[in-house]
Amino acid sequence: MAAGAVRRYDPGRRERIVDAAIRVVARKGIAGLSHRSVAAEADVPLGSTTYHFKTLDDLLVAALRRANEGFAAQIARSPAVADPEADLATALAGLLGEVFAADRGRAELEYELYLAALRRPALRPVAAEWCEAMAGILADRTDPVTARALVAVMDGICLQVLLTDTEYDEPYTREILRRVLGAAGG
């Protein structure tokens, strides 16, 4: 630090860097992510990104964690998911519909980060945490095996919608989820 320079206290810098990484990935994909591109996006010195995140994988882990918070929190807050009298298949199909209606680009971003775990082993535990968290929430309404199956089916449906660039089909999703739930009970 130069003589007379004052080190600025910036408690939100780490979070701004993570948010900037998410924006960079949304615009340029994971291939466009670098400490330099994130520093420019966050309007912080390059050294700040490497101080908070030694490697790009560290930064991607933080970004994936942030992205994961959204849908899991939405499911956890849903009165219909928590209500044992409510139709779980309808509630889940509706929540997926809300995700696609609100911001399809955000869903694409979240899956890009999620699927990066295929090539970046450091991300695998975070992807697994998300699956476990979702299954844990759903296990309050069904058994643990069925909860995991519901998560897998919802993931598959989301991927099909995103990869084929088709409209989300809520009645289809509801029917498939009912079948999974019906198989568990029968």
Mean pLDDT (the chain) is: 89
Please indicate, yes or no, if residue 91 is contained in any of the structural domains: yes
Regarding whether 175 and 87 lie in a shared domain, the answer is: yes
Domain of residue 97, CATH code: 1.10.357.10
Regarding whether 72 and 100 lie in a shared domain, the answer is: yes
- Candidate from 19-33, 71-85, 139-153 with smallest mean pLDDT: 71-85
pLDDT of residue 72: 79
Domain of residue 36, CATH code: 1.10.10.60
Regarding whether 72 and 30 lie in a shared domain, the answer is: no
Please indicate, yes or no, if residue 4 is contained in any of the structural domains: no
Range 151-180 average pLDDT: 95
Q: What is the domain count for the chain?
A: 2
pLDDT of residue 5: 46
Range 47-60 average pLDDT: 93
Residues in the chain, overall count: 186
- Candidate from 37-41, 125-129, 142-146 with smallest mean pLDDT: 125-129
pLDDT of residue 3 exceeding 70: no
> pLDDT tens, 60-88?
999 888 888 777 788 888 898 889 999 99
Regarding whether 45 and 111 lie in a shared domain, the answer is: no
Quickly state the pLDDT bin for 183 (edges 50, 70, 90): confident
As a whole-number percent, the residues of the chain with pLDDT over 90 amount to: 63
Regarding whether 128 and 38 lie in a shared domain, the answer is: no
Nearest of 58, 29, 71, 31 to residue 125 by alpha carbon: 58
Q: d(Cα 49, Cα 86) in Å, to the nearest integer?
A: 46
pLDDT of residue 169: 97
Quickly state the pLDDT bin for 4 (edges 50, 70, 90): very low
Q: d(Cα 69, Cα 55) in Å, to the nearest integer?
A: 22
Largest CA distance in the chain: 74
